[in-house]
Amino acid sequence: MLSREENELVTRVGAGTPMGNTLRRYWLPALLSREIPEPDCPPVRVRLLGEDLVAFRDSEGRIGLLDELCPHRRASLYFGRNEECGLRCVYHGWKFDVAGACVDMMNEPEEYDFKHKVRMTAYPTCELGGVIWAYLGPAEKMPPLPKFAWTQAPESHRHVTKVIQECNWLQGVEGGIDTSHAPIMHRLISETSTRGGIKPSNPFVRGKAPKLVVDITDYGFQYAGVRPLGEDDMHIRTYQFILPFHQIRPATSESGLQLDAGHCWVPIDDVTTMVFNWSYCPDGPLSEEDRMERGLGNGPLHVDPSTFRSKANRGNNYLLDRLVQRTENYTGIDGINVQDRAIQESMGKIVDRSQEHLGPADKAIIQARKLLREAVKTAEAGGAPAGTSASYYPLRAHEAVLPHTADWRREMTPEMEPERILQTV
């Protein structure tokens, strides 16, 4: 458990807070590329770490991420005209380029021109993997671009969606790195069920409770759930946690492809999170059925594509069906990630971690909290927090059934050279 003071430290993300300052040292997923698909298209609102912003793609395809409010009379630039390499406020015609410089003032006589004196907040951006990323920290401390392996895959081989979650970002992160819950909460009762979940025959479900192995690294950690399967075999499933909020896990697509997949739990503010869901197949293109994400509950059938809000939500009890809970799956809720959102939101906007009772199965969560606190200390001291170097670029996640005598690290995770592991807990 954490003290209430420690809980405040790791959950609060507003400007000037210790964690907020730390998160501003990373590249943050801000929006999907398809939200501003072409030059001079309409701007969109973006909220990151409690800041209200507006994003636009200018006439040359460059991306601007500005304070939403015009510095003249504080009108919203969401209503602005995206034209001729700038976003023009419709109130008095002040226009700003992607760097935040004022380039025109329609309401001021030419002899009083002072546009060169006006500049508004503008954040650097980059576009990778179908996502527009933003950096909100000090320019001189900007880390390398976020070139995760999935962001480098061709568009035909990758897929990204997003959905709003109504709780603090760390509840999502901790759910994503909690391997012991998956074969319980996400299990299917019936082998013939077509709902999203893990079938009874899957070794992930058949295996006994996992022993967790956590390998601390300079980016976060690799962790593995090792589950005995009878006397001879074991099921191993490895994950990656990259600070501050990235998960990589093995997955299978709707059409049976083996994938790398994961989530980024990006704080909108203290009590709201934008979850970016991604997957990619190193071996071939994804199908249209894969992109529906039926089993996960993140696709167009489950999430409103205009608001990014889940159709199954707290207001309708996540469409829980008690008959389905008795006969098909453990929760009665359709969609693996819908189940995750339901349970994580049920904890409250910010869970009181001082009331928890943790056990050995929570080892990864305990280590993540420790690493986040260490990242805050490092950032406060002026250093580069873990996860800001390029060491995470080649990371993968793996799953296999091996003899219980096998060296699973050597056989499954060749990219994890021994020197990368700082400590095993």
Predicted confidence pLDDT, tens digits, the chain (425 residues): 899 999 999 999 999 999 999 999 999 999 999 999 999 999 999 999 999 999 999 999 999 999 999 999 999 999 999 999 999 999 999 999 999 999 999 999 988 889 999 999 999 999 999 999 999 999 999 999 999 999 999 999 999 999 999 999 999 999 999 999 999 999 999 999 999 999 999 998 998 899 999 999 999 999 999 999 999 999 999 999 999 999 999 999 888 899 999 999 999 999 999 999 999 999 999 999 999 999 999 999 999 999 999 999 999 999 999 999 999 999 999 999 999 999 999 999 999 999 999 999 999 999 999 999 999 999 999 999 999 999 999 999 999 999 999 999 999 998 888 889 999 99
CATH number at residue 162: 3.90.380.10
The answer to whether position 92 is within a domain reads yes
Phi, psi of 215 (to 5 degrees): -105, 105
The answer to whether position 297 is within a domain reads yes
User: Would the CA dihedral through 406, 409, 410, 412 be positive or negative?
Assistant: positive
Between the alpha carbon of residue 381 and those of residues 21, 28, 245, the distances in Å are 12, 22, 21
The answer to whether position 278 is within a domain reads yes
Q: What is the pTM of this model?
A: 0.96
Say whether both 126 and 167 belong to one domain.
no
Say whether both 174 and 109 belong to one domain.
no
Q: Provide the number of structural domains found in the chain.
A: 2
Domain boundary at 122, 141, 160, which? Answer: 141
Say whether both 130 and 195 belong to one domain.
no
Rg (CA), the chain: 23
CATH number at residue 61: 2.102.10.10
The answer to whether position 389 is within a domain reads yes
Between the alpha carbon of residue 373 and those of residues 146, 290, 379, the distances in Å are 22, 37, 10
The answer to whether residues 245 and 266 touch, using CB atoms and an 8 Å cutoff, is yes
Domain boundary at 86, 120, 141, which? Answer: 141
Say whether both 322 and 407 belong to one domain.
yes
* pLDDT for 417: 85
| Residue 203, CB-side half-sphere exposure with 13 Å CA sphere | 15
* pLDDT for 254: 83
Peptide bond into 124 cis (omega under 30): no
Say whether both 161 and 134 belong to one domain.
no
The answer to whether position 386 is within a domain reads yes
Q: What are the beta bridge partners of residue 329? A: 188
Angle at 206 between CA 202 and CA 209, to 5 degrees: 125
Say whether both 39 and 165 belong to one domain.
no
Say whether both 122 and 271 belong to one domain.
no
Say whether both 159 and 268 belong to one domain.
yes
Domain boundary at 90, 113, 141, which? Answer: 141
Antiparallel, parallel or unpaired: β 272-280 and 158-165: antiparallel
Task: For the sheet with 131-135, list strands across it.
Answer: 27-32, 131-135, 125-128
Say whether both 91 and 184 belong to one domain.
no
Say whether both 164 and 189 belong to one domain.
yes
Say whether both 61 and 170 belong to one domain.
no
The answer to whether position 14 is within a domain reads no
Say whether both 349 and 401 belong to one domain.
yes
Instruction: Please name the residues in contact with 379: beta carbons below 8 A apart, sequence gap of 6 or more.
Output: 18, 21, 22, 25, 385
The answer to whether residues 364 and 178 touch, using CB atoms and an 8 Å cutoff, is yes
The answer to whether position 197 is within a domain reads yes
Q: Which domain holds residue 420?
A: 149-424
The answer to whether position 342 is within a domain reads yes
* pLDDT for 1: 81
DSSP for 216-241 reads E-SSEEEEEEEEEETTTEEEEEEEEE
Angle at 277 between CA 179 and CA 425, to 5 degrees: 30
